[in-house]
A and B are shown apart, each in its own frame.
Chain A
C-alpha cells in the first residue's frame, strides 16, 4: 500500500504499576489505507475501548508507534504536544449515539470543527453545507438536532466527523441502535465518504448486521489484534 491513513506497530498500553499492572493492549498492529473501511471486533474486556482511546489520542499508549498519514505521531511518546489539536484536525469521531450539540443547529454542529480549527465562519459554514448536501441532510441545515430523526442525526454526526477532512475516522458502534436497513445505510454512507474524501475509517462494532460488509476485519482479543479477510458484501 503506497499511502497510509493510519498505521500502528507494536502498540502497548499498561494500566497501573507493579503487581497491580494490567496490560490492556499487548501488541496491536493495524494499517488502514485512505478510503478504506475496516472493522474492529472483539469481546468485552478485549481492549477495544483502550485501543479506541489510544487511536483517538485521548490516552497515551505505553509503547509502540503510530502514524497518521505519513506523520509519525507516537513513538514511545506523543510527537505532537497538542493532543487537542490532533483530535480536532486529524481524527474524526462518530459515536453510537450522534451526540450532537443540542443548542446548535445542524449547520453549526458541523461547522463548529472548522471554526475551532480557525477557519472563518463563512468558510466553515460553506464546508458544512457541502457535507450535509453530500449526506442528503442539506434540507435540515437550519434545524435543531432534536427535530431530526435518528438516521438524520447520525448522518449529521458523520458530516461533523468529516468536517476537517481528517485522514482517519473512528466510528464507535455507529449502527448499534439502528435496524438492518438503516444500519446498512450508515455503512453505505461511511464507505461512500471514505472513498470520496480518502479517509481511513475504523468501525468498532458488535453488530452482526454490518460485519459482512467489511473487506478486512481486525479482531482484538486479550490486547492483541489479528487481521482477517471479510466478506466485503456489496452495499
Chain B
C-alpha cells in the first residue's frame, strides 16, 4: 500500500521542512531550558564535590556559606579537629564579587582556602597550585583569565598561576581561588579611608580612649584592622565514620551548625535552585503548549488544504483509519524533524550560554517522547476535521 503521508510530505517537502525547522528551534529552546536547569543542579553538585568536604560547619541557625551569610572564628577548626571522627578540618571563605578583565566586569566567587586542605581546587588544567601565602590565584577557565595574567581584587593585584575547570558557585559564577588570608582581608577588611575614619571615631569615643588605660585604644584599633573570621570550616571524617554522627557531635558540643553532603545538596537544590527550577518548569509548560498549538495549527491548515482530496479518497473507499493515519504520520514526521533540529541546535548553541547547559540523554529521550505525544495530540483536531468530511462533497452538490 502506498504511504500517503510520506508522498504528501515529499510533494510539499519545502514547506514541511521549513515548518519542521521552525518547530525545531522552539524545541531547541525547550531542551535548552531543561539543560539550564540540569546545569544548575550539576553546578551545585560540582560545588559540593569539588570542596572535598564531608561536613560543612557554619554559624548556628544559618544555612551555610552558599545559601546564607555565615561567620565563625578562624580558630574553630582546631577544636573541631579534636572531635571524634574528624580527620581533617580547614577554614574557607566565600565571597561573590565583580573583578575587572580587559575593561569588562567578570562576576566571580572568590574562594579563600588553605593549600593542601579541603576547599582547594580539585584539579588543575594548566599551571600550578597556589604555593605562596599572598597574591596568587587559581582561576576557573570560565573567568577568561590566562596564566600569568594580573587580576585586580580590591586593593591588590594577584597573579594567575593555575587554571581549573567546572569550579563554579551554586549560581554558576566561576571561582577564583586565593589564599585564605587574602580572602579574609578582601571580605572583612575595610579600605584605607574607612579605616582612618573608624580610628578617628574610636579615638573620639571616651569609652574606648580612656586616659587611665594606656594601650586600650591601640588594641581596639588593631582589632578593627584585622579579621579572624571565616565563612565555614570544611570537615573530612575518618574512614568508616558516619558523617551524620560526626555532625551531631559538632552541633551538640560546639553550638555550631553542621551539614552533611546530603543536607547541603538539599539546601542548594531544593532551596537555592527551587525558585529558578519552578521558573524554568513554567517556561517548559508554556513552550510545550505553544509547540502543541503550532503543530495543531500547521497540521490543521495542511488538512484543510486537502479537504477535496480527502473527500475523494473517502469516496473511492479509503478507510477512515488510513486517512487518520496519514495525518498522524505527518504530525509525527513534523515532530521528528522538529526534534532532530531542536536537539542539534540545542547542542550547538549550548556552549555559548553564559551558564553551564547540561543536555542529558535521558532528557533528550523524554523530550522526544513528549514531542511525539504533543504532535499526536495536536493532530487530533485535524483528524477530527478529516473524519467529518462527507464523501458526498466530492460528488459536487
Contact = CB atoms under 8 A, between A and B. Distances in A.
Interface of A: 49, 52-53, 56, 58-59, 84-85, 87-89, 93, 95-96, 99, 101-104, 108, 111-113, 115-117, 121, 144, 160, 172-173
Contacts, number: 80
B7 A87 contact: no
A96 B393 CA distance: 13
Nearest to B312: A99
Nearest to A50: B397
Given A49-B397, A56-B395, A99 B308 contact: yes
A169 B309 CA distance: 19
Contacts of B313: 101
Given A56-B395, A99-B309, A104 B2 contact: yes
A106 to B, nearest CB: 13
A71 B214 CA distance: 128
A85 B320 CA distance: 12
Given A93-B316, A115-B2, A49 B396 contact: yes
Given A85-B317, A93-B315, A112-B2, A99 B394 contact: yes
B10 interface: yes
Given A49-B397, A101-B309, A103-B12, A160 B7 contact: no
B317 A89 contact: yes
Interface residues of B, number: 26
Contacts of A56: 315, 392, 395
B306 to A, nearest CB: 9
A58 B12 contact: no
Contacts of A49: 395-397
Contacts of A172: 395-396
B316 A103 contact: no
Q: Which 6 A-B pairs have the closest CB atoms?
A: A88-B317, A103-B11, A49-B397, A103-B8, A58-B392, A103-B7
24 contacts: A49-B397, A52-B395, A56-B392, A56-B395, A58-B395, A84-B319, A85-B317, A87-B315, A87-B391, A88-B316, A93-B394, A99-B308, A99-B394, A102-B309, A103-B4, A103-B10, A103-B12, A104-B2, A108-B7, A111-B2, A112-B2, A113-B317, A115-B2, A117-B317
B279 interface: no
Given A101-B4, A103-B7, A121-B2, 7 more contacts: A58-B315, A85-B317, A89-B317, A95-B312, A103-B10, A112-B318, A116-B316
B365 interface: no
Given A101-B309, A103-B10, A87 B392 contact: no
B396 A173 contact: yes
Nearest to A115: B1
Contacts of A104: 2, 4, 7
Contacts of A101: 4, 309, 312-313
Interface string B316-336: 111100100000000000000
Contacts of B316: 87-88, 93, 112-113, 116, 160
A53 B395 contact: yes
Contacts of B392: 53, 56, 58-59
B154 to A, nearest CB: 70
Given A59-B392, A95-B394, A102-B11, A116 B309 contact: no
Contacts of A112: 2, 316, 318
Contacts of A89: 317
A116 B12 contact: no
Contacts of B312: 95, 99, 101
Contacts of A160: 316
A102 B310 CA distance: 11
Nearest to A103: B11
A104 B2 CA distance: 9
Contacts of B318: 84, 112, 116
